Structure 1
C-alpha cells in the first residue's frame, strides 16, 4: 500500500476512530474551516490538539452505513495540528485510498472515525497521538505527540467478493477449489498440462465495473498456488481483509494481464516461471526456481 497510510509497514495510515471531544482542548473541530468543492482545503490553527478522537460530519451522505471490517474507498486531506500545515492530499494527487476498517489494517483513529459513517459523507476527524502512529514520522513532519486532522470524502464501500455472471474457464485450466465460499486452492483437470509456456487470463465471474488501467492501485482478494497442484503459497482470503498494491510493483503476469479486466470480476491467471519469479524466488520459500504459478483473483477496486 502507499504513502502516509501505513499502520504497519505495508498497511495504510487511515482507519479507526470514535467520537468524543476533549472539553479541555483550546479548540475543537468546530473551529476547523473546510472549503467546499471537489478539492477541499482545511484551515487548522497552530497547536491544535485533542485528547480523544473527535468527528464532525460536514455533509452526511445517503449511502450505505459503514461497519468495522468493511473496506472503503476515501479521498482525504491530512493536516498536522501542531503546525497547521497539510502533509498529504489525495484530492490533488488524484489517488483515492482503499482501506479496511480493522485493527490490523489501519490506525485506531481511522476505525473510530469512519465506522458508522455513510457512503457519500464528508467527515472531519481529529486524531490524538494515542490513536495515530504512536511515534514520530519524520518523513511526514509528524512528531510523536502531534494531533492529526483529516477530512474524508467517503467515495464507496468496496464489495467483499466478485459479483457477476459465472463463466467457464478453458478445460485445460486448473479448477478452483472453494472453501467457506471463496477460492482456496486449485486441482488439475484431466486435460491440464504439467507444464506451460505462455501466460493466460481466464474470467470465471464477469464483473461489470470499469476496466483496470495500467499502473493503478488494485484492491483484491486472491489465492496463489504452485502450478498445477503444488503448495498454496499465499492467500489474502486466509488472512482476512483484501490486499491493495500498485500494478507496477507486481510480477509481470499480473502487471500485463490484469489491466483491461473489469472490476467485480474473478479471474484465473496462469503464469509460467518467466512471468513470475523465474529462477530467483525467495530463498527458503515454497516457490522453487522455475516454478509456474496459478492464481484466483477477485478484482474489487482500482484507483
Structure 2
C-alpha cells in the first residue's frame, strides 16, 4: 500500500535519521532567514539567494495563525513551497499543484526538520523554515535534485490539524461481515461471525462509524489509519495503527477495491472493505507478504482527511 511520489518523499524520513522534537536554532548557522523574501498570499513566492545554507534547522513565523496548537505526534495538513538553498530554485510547490501534504510530526513519518519547525506552531500560521542536510534526507536525493550538502528552504501554510481517529455515529455491521476486534480502542483484527461465509465473490463496503465530513472524491489523496487482514479472520498483513502513524495514500495508486468503494464515503468515518482477489492483488500478491494468490482481503479504514 505504499505510495512513492515527490510529495510522499518529503514526508518520509530515512530510517537511519534520529529525530529530535525540540525546536529552534543555534548560533552556528551561516545565513539568516531574514535574507529570504516571501511575497504573495494564495500563491506565495519565495526568493532565496544562491548558496544559502544553515547548520541547524531555522524557522521564522511569517504570519501567526489563530487556530489549534500543533504538537509532536499530531498530523497536520500543510501547503508548501520548497526551494533548494544551493541553487535558489524551487523544486516543489503544493500551492500550484493544489495538492496539500499531510504529515505526522514524529520520528516514524517526517523529516527531522519538519518536526522541529512545525511542532509548537498553530493552525493558520505561515512559517519559513531552513533545513540542513542532517535534518533533511541526510544524503543526496536525485529525484528532487538535492545534493548531500544542500540546505532546503520551505514556506509552510499550516492548513489544519488532522483528527487521529474516526468519530461519529456507530453503525452495526451486517451479521455476515466479520466483527472488528479492538485493542486499546483501535481496530486490531477481524473475527468471523457464525454467519460469515467462507468465500465472497463481490467487493463490499460497510460503515462502522459514520462521520460528518465531506464525501471522498475519486483520485484524491487520503490520510487514513487502516488494518489489513486476510478474509475472514486470517493473518494480518498491514496495520498503520500498529506502526503508530497514519498513512498518506493516493486513491489512484491503491488496489481497485479502494478505488471503487472509498469514493462517496464521508471523512471521519470508519469503513470496512471486503475485497475479493480480483479487486485486490489477484494471483500476484506483493512479494514477501502473507497474502496468497487468490486471497480475499479485509480492511478497517478510518478516513481522516482528503485533498
Both structures adopt the same fold (TM-score exceeding 0.5): yes
Match of 2:34, SS state, is helix
Paired residue secondary structure (1:83):
coil
Contact 2:222 2:305 in 1 (8 A): yes
Alignment of 1:158-173 (within 5 A): 158-173=162-177
Partner of 1:19 in structure 2?
Answer: 24
Match of 2:302 in 1: 298
2:238 to 225, 234, 258: 234
Q: 1:278: which partner in 2?
A: 282
Aligned to 1:40: 44
1:16 and 1:106 in contact (8 A); partners too: no
Report how many aligned residue pairs link the two structures.
Answer: 298
Preserved contact between residue 37 and residue 48 of structure 2 (Cα < 8 Å): yes
**Structure 1 residues 288 and 19, CA gap change in structure 2 (3 angstroms):** same
CA distance in 2, matches of 1:9, 1:243: 16
TM-aligned CA deviation for residue 284 of structure 1: 4.9
Stretches of structure 1 that go unaligned for 5 or more consecutive residues are none
Q: Which residue of 2 aligns with 1:265?
A: 269
In the other structure, the counterpart of 2:111 is 107
Q: Partners of 2:234 and 2:133 in 1: how far apart?
A: 46
Mapped partners of 1:130, 1:24: distance in 2: 13
Which sits farther off after the overlay, 188-197 or 157-166?
188-197
TM-score relative to the length of structure 1: 0.94
Q: 1:91 to 1:16 in 2, by over 3 A?
A: farther
Q: Structure 2 unaligned runs (5+)?
A: none
Tell me which residue corresponds to 1:93. Answer: 97
Runs of 4+ in 1 over 6 A off after TM superposition: none
The CA distance in 1 between the partners of 2:136 and 2:107, in whole Å, is 12
After TM superposition, give the deviation of residue 48 of structure 1 in Å.
1.3
Provide the residue aligned with 1:5 in structure 2.
Answer: 10
TM-score under structure 2 normalisation?
A: 0.92
**Shift of residue 285 of structure 1?**
3.0
The counterpart of 2:144, out of the listed 140, 147, 153, is 140
- CA offsets 1:146-181 (integer angstroms, 9 cap, x no match): 111100000011111001111112111111100011
1:91 is paired with a residue whose SS is helix
